[in-house]
Amino acid sequence: MPRPGDPSAKVKLLAAAEAVFVSRGLDGAKVEEITRRAGLAKGTFYRHFDSKDDAFRFLIESMVARLAAYLDEMPADAAERCADIQDFLDQWVSNDVRIFELIWHNRGVFALLLEGGRVASYRHLVDEFADRARLKIRTFLESAVRAGLYRGDLDLDLTSAFIAGAYDRLARQIVRERHQPDLRAMLRQVQFLVLRGVASAATLQALERTAVPLSRPGRSNPNPNPKKKTRATP
């Protein structure tokens, strides 16, 4: 009687394949090393994948699909749905953190895509996600303009391309870091920079009245009372 297959075999193979790809690259990776790391027979690998390239593609497609799912979880009309501006900003950052945490945890595979060579032939999958993200950012901008949170004179195509490009460069920087940065603090800073360019005058005034005003983040005001001048140090 044949023994039942390992139901977690594919998961084990993918984990082992990711480790081998990161350490050896796609060209240097061997199916034998992947199966040895997974503790499975070579035949088991070929029951799930046609080749090591097939396994690599599955890893990339799975990562991009999860990124897209996180992107889609925030409604396109979030600015109009949220209770107030602070609720909108908190949801924005929280969603960004989830996306960038996924990028960080998959940084080895992501970094491979930036190195060129044969691996670069799969980069279009990430580029397709980047285009999708740009379009989603555009819908966020439209929603915020309708809600009166953002300026009505924005060129939505130009602004969405600029913001998407900034996120892309940040992702490329993060995957090369040796230690995980404070993603939430970093993405709050990104939010601050974006708002300074796109927020309406009414939004900026409202944020200045909140507990955390939209001023230079990370720095305290050396003179909290603007009417009281500080004495010069002799």
pLDDT (tens digit per residue) in 37-50: 999 999 999 999 99
For residues 73 and 168, state if they share a domain.
yes
Domain contains 2: no
Domain containing residue 101: 57-208
Query: Residue 5: pLDDT band by 50, 70, 90 thresholds?
Result: low
Range among 2-11, 48-57, 114-123 with highest mean pLDDT value? 48-57
Neighbouring CB atoms inside 10 A of 81's CB total: 14
Domain contains 115: yes
Rounded-to-integer distance, Cα 38 and Cα 41, Å: 9
Query: Residue 20: pLDDT band by 50, 70, 90 thresholds?
Result: very high
Domain contains 191: yes
**Average of pLDDT values for 114-134?**
83
Give yes or no for residue 178 having a pLDDT over 80: yes
Q: What is the pTM of this model?
A: 0.81
In CATH, what number is assigned to the domain containing residue 43?
Answer: 1.10.10.60
Domain contains 222: no
Rounded-to-integer distance, Cα 183 and Cα 195, Å: 18
Domain contains 225: no
Rounded-to-integer distance, Cα 215 and Cα 208, Å: 8
Rounded-to-integer distance, Cα 126 and Cα 59, Å: 12
Q: pLDDT value at position 15?
A: 95
**Average of pLDDT values for 86-107?**
93
Number of structural domains found in the chain:
2
Domain contains 154: yes
Are 197 and 166 contacting, i.e. CB atoms less than 8 angstroms apart? no
For residues 102 and 191, state if they share a domain.
yes
For residues 126 and 185, state if they share a domain.
yes
In CATH, what number is assigned to the domain containing residue 187?
Answer: 1.10.357.10
For residues 148 and 175, state if they share a domain.
yes
